[in-house]
Structure 1
Amino acid sequence: MVATMNVSDEIHVERGFEDTLTSFAGIMGCTLGSCELLTLTNTVQFDDYSKYVYLMPDKEEKSNRVEKNYA
């Protein structure tokens, strides 16, 4: 199971996403026989953040992440 989200690693843990997804993967494993969880946090939504109205914090961080990881 692959879970992607636009939150930082810290928020992922603080808000309980990690526990919820781990529980869900356990249920999937019991139902389907096997389930591995891959979580991707702080995902990038746009190739160029200057083209969009983006109200989330750290627009500059996201732009730098695009340049560093996807250029």
Structure 2
Amino acid sequence: MCKLDNLPVRVVREQKSFGIAEDEQVYCMCRGIDDKSFMIACDVCEEWFHEKCVGVTEKQGEKIDLYTYPSCRTG
């Protein structure tokens, strides 16, 4: 199971340099904010991903019953 909760300090610093507030929720492998675009949740790790980051459009997402982020498929 993938764990995105324990981010390296480097990623936390990068969030600050991009102007993301510490209390603002970040998502996805890009560790970005909810930009109001379509997002899909992994049914394994329960993390939300931007469509542009995982290559799943909203139209494709509507047809997916269970989505698994590629890193979660391997273990």
Query: Scaled by the length of structure 2, what TM-score is found?
Result: 0.30
Structure with higher helix content: 1
Looking at CA atoms only, which structure, 1 or 2, has the larger radius of gyration?
A: 1
Which of 1 and 2 has higher RCO (CA within 8 Å, sep 6+)? 1
